[in-house]
Amino acid sequence: MAELEISEKIDNLERILKKIEGRRSLFIRSLHDSRLEINVPLPVTLENDGYQSIAYAPDMDIYGCGETEYEAIEDLRRSIADLYFDLKEEKLGADLQRIFEYLRSVVVEK
């Protein structure tokens, strides 16, 4: 039984390592939106799940996806801009207020 448990744990670790291998980090310096400007580069994680590329901004817990890394980053940029303007207009709870405060610290309206 112990050998089976060890084998399962090794298999699980191999799956985790394969997932991590395909992940990389970068910073975006523009939202490609004429209304907003980034004043601090935003950290983004890129990975491919086998079907699509996924761009993730952990500081805002927001994703973008696409067939290519470029499309995923562009989708994330649009999502961040949309999120900024959506949150700007709403009465926010604590979690969304925290995200909006972070956005206001890194994004400036032109």
pLDDT (0 to 100) of residue 23: 78
Residue the block writes with tokens 């067939």: 67
How many beta carbons lie within 10 A of that of residue 92, not counting itself? 14
C-alpha–C-alpha distance, residues 70 and 76, integer Å:
10
pLDDT digits (tens, 9 = 90+) for 62-94: 999 999 999 999 999 999 999 999 999 888 899
The kind and range of the H/E element at 37 are: strand 36-38
List, as own/partner pairs, every contact residues 1-9 make where C-beta atoms lie below 8 angstroms and the sequence separation is at least 24, other chains included: none
pLDDT (0 to 100) of residue 58: 93
| Model confidence, pTM | 0.78
Residue the block writes with tokens 């939202």: 31
C-alpha–C-alpha distance, residues 110 and 97, integer Å:
22
> What is the chain's pLDDT, residue by residue, as a tens digit (110 residues)?
577 677 787 777 777 766 666 678 999 999 999 999 999 999 999 998 878 999 999 999 999 999 999 999 999 999 999 999 999 988 889 988 999 999 999 999 98
C-alpha–C-alpha distance, residues 72 and 93, integer Å:
28
- Sketch the domain layout of the chain as residue ranges: 23-109
